[in-house]
Structure 1
């Protein structure tokens, strides 16, 4: 029986982690330990200042002594921010270097402060929203097989119809890609258990002439997992082939995450829910853990694996 490529790559990644990523984490761990010592020293100074004020009872003196401490704490805040902002890019680039050595993956590039644009997100048609709040980071682009792609983490919120609070529309990783050959038609795929939250998006798609095409989906598990609509000119199984359906179901099974997918001619959009910031380092707990790095690698690998199936099953 052929070994699952996901399992095989994970074993290779473990070796790469031991030889390449672990030394970088050790360096980061030293920086984190230094920050903890500085934080501890800051707390000690503040307590000492408080005790001094209790003893002498002169607030003017205490305020004068607090000035250099406040400046020092400001310096400490900058140090903590630099540690957090530097951790992910350093590790992320090492992960992408590993993936760039695999067959079918090329030109992988990472920019921590860039993201998928609001226009790209809305053009998918998967979410009917004005997206009053739109925040993105951790942009990755490259090529999987013959398909160029872009992806980033996104947090999208809209003004609630009840009250003035912001409701979360999407939080996770959003990806766009392009088929290597001409394709015609439009398909939207929503998680079935989230259908009630996307009634407006479904209605907007049906206004363009789209219809429910679940009767064309022979995979019962896929029908149970997703709601599928397409325009009448779309050859559904020609785009959403059975191997592609199996690959999408495999991703959902492995990750337990919701996935949204749209096809518009050659364009492909995919949103994968992720209710946390991936690969964010801890200040107070060790980051020298393989499971922390593995989880992020698995997320990126499985997402791009779905893109590869999009290309291979065309």
Structure 2
């Protein structure tokens, strides 16, 4: 198969996540796969993520990286223009590896702005992947990017939707980022939290409100027993009690225990909790076992792997 070289014009497009999804699917298909990040530092976060994939060989700067392997995944960033050093280095690396090149872009109103740089790879460029597309814009984006790239003779290999599960943090990570303490079911600290709902925003029935989303953290003031109990009646990953460190009411703790829902208690107020969660989500990586599985599934469903490998 040779080498697949994923390139991006801007950080945050998700090229390493797509590398990981491709790697898992290729390994599951029985391929001997390796991962090479050119010029990667020893403690590089992307390499750390790829090390979590069972069966994937991490390659440290070998000149003939493909030898002895079915496929090698590599990645790099290009410059804003073809003449910049990053772009020139990427062109040379692709040529040396005889790699198939795939451009990865995150969804934005400036999608396809780097087409001129992509063309510098010549016949090595097999196409582009548009990543992190909002579900509601998926159909429109597929049509739009197919037209834009098609007009330039570039194939769109896949349009990958946003997946909230890949942005999730664990119950334990949530407790840490908001300065909280897990009061019960500490064994569930590794469970993922995909959604967040604030009890302070509820005017009507808390049961109807909290029932709208699952796999969530319900954030409620410690004095709102009605909202706490309502949240516990719905699919909830954890209940966060804000604004104090008192022991929960007996009825709340009993219901949480019986339903297997951890309670996090924190003195942090709701506004600061929201800010802390936003910071944590900005740094999250798809390195959890469940996230990696979901990532592989998302890539498989939205990308024709046989077409590029």
What TM bracket, shorter-length normalisation? under 0.3
Q: TM-score w.r.t. structure 1 length?
A: 0.26
Normalising by structure 2, what TM-score?
Answer: 0.26
Q: Which of 1 and 2 has greater Rg?
A: 1
